[in-house]
Amino acid sequence: MTFEVTVYLDPASVRVHEKFGFEKVAHFRENGLKFDRWIDVGYWQLML
Mean pLDDT of 28-34: 86
**43 or 7: whose pLDDT is higher?**
43
Percent of all residues in the chain with a pLDDT value above 70, rounded to a whole number: 83
Mean pLDDT rounded to a whole number for the chain? 84
Per-residue pLDDT at 21: 92
Residues 30-34, mean pLDDT to the nearest whole number: 85
- pLDDT number for residue 3: 63
DSSP string for 1-48 = -EEEEEETT-HHHHHHHHHTT-EEEEEEEEEEEETTEEEEEEEEEE--
Average pLDDT over residues 42-46: 88
